[in-house]
């Protein structure tokens, strides 16, 4: 496995990040440092850091994550993400050039990484869509209560589309 989701399920805020073991080690260490800072965890030894970014194939990976209080998941299957993106483009909820948007694809891969996520697809879709829109469009507030009518309408349409698309994509690939 070259990509995994690193998750802080017991911190406030709870968060996740994608780690790709094919990325340079310094980049992965930087990503880990930013992630730990965001969730309020301190960095441990260099060995712990290296093991935490090495992936599940490393025999010390689980021990390092346990020391941090982190968990990991496999990301949502790429086939599901691809079909979801294609359906969102076909429904004209995303522009054609967005089909390969690494940010949105990554948010979906992280947000639908385990069975708990799939039990609450609308919630996972809301988080992915809010994050995507806030990161890509100036003035798009992460908090729906702060959105004007136009932004709320676009947000709601995309969330609904994502819920339908990922549910259909998963059903197609798990048959």
Residue 175 has pLDDT above 80, yes or no: no
Tell me how many domains the chain contains: 2
Domain that holds residue 123: 78-174
| Backbone phi, psi, residue 72, to 5° | -140, 155
Whether 168 and 132 share a structural domain? yes
Q: Considering the entire predicted model, what is its pTM? A: 0.90
**If you average pLDDT over residues 20-35, what whole number do you get?**
96
C-alpha dihedral over 114, 163, 155, 39, to 10 degrees?
A: 0
Give the per-residue pLDDT at 9.
87
Whether 15 and 99 share a structural domain? no
Whether 29 and 113 share a structural domain? no
The model's pLDDT over 2-18, given as tens digits with 9 standing for 90+, comes to: 899 999 988 888 999 99
Give the per-residue pLDDT at 1.
60
Whether 64 and 26 share a structural domain? yes
**Quick one: DSSP state of residue 3?**
E
The model's pLDDT over 100-137, given as tens digits with 9 standing for 90+, comes to: 999 999 999 999 999 999 999 999 999 999 999 988 88
Please identify, among 73, 98, 118, the residue that sits at the C-terminal boundary of a domain.
Answer: 73
Please identify, among 73, 89, 109, the residue that sits at the C-terminal boundary of a domain.
Answer: 73
CA distance 136 to 24: 26
Give the per-residue pLDDT at 2.
85
Residue 65 has pLDDT above 90, yes or no: yes
Nearest to 104 by CA among 146, 152, 165: 165
**Quick one: DSSP state of residue 76?**
P
Please identify, among 26, 42, 73, the residue that sits at the C-terminal boundary of a domain.
Answer: 73
């Amino acid at each position: 496995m070259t990509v995994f989701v690193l998750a802080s399920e017991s911190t406030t805020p709870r968060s996740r990040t994608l780690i790709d073991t094919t990325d340079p080690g310094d980049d992965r260490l930087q990503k880990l440092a930013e992630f730990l800072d965001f969730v309020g965890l301190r960095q441990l030894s260099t060995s712990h850091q290296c093991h935490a970014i090495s992936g599940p194939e490393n025999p010390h990976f689980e021990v390092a994550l346990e020391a941090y209080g982190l968990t990991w998941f496999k990301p949502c299957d790429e086939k599901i993400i691809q079909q979801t993106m294609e359906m969102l483009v076909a429904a004209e909820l995303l522009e054609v050039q967005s089909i390969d948007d690494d940010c949105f694809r990554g948010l979906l891969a992280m947000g639908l990484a385990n069975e708990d996520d799939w039990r609450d697809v609308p919630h996972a879709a809301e988080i992915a869509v809010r994050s995507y829109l806030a990161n890509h469009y100036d003035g798009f507030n992460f908090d729906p209560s702060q959105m004007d009518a136009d932004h709320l309408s676009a947000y709601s349409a995309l969330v609904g589309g994502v819920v339908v698309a990922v549910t259909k994509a998963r059903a197609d690939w798990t048959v």
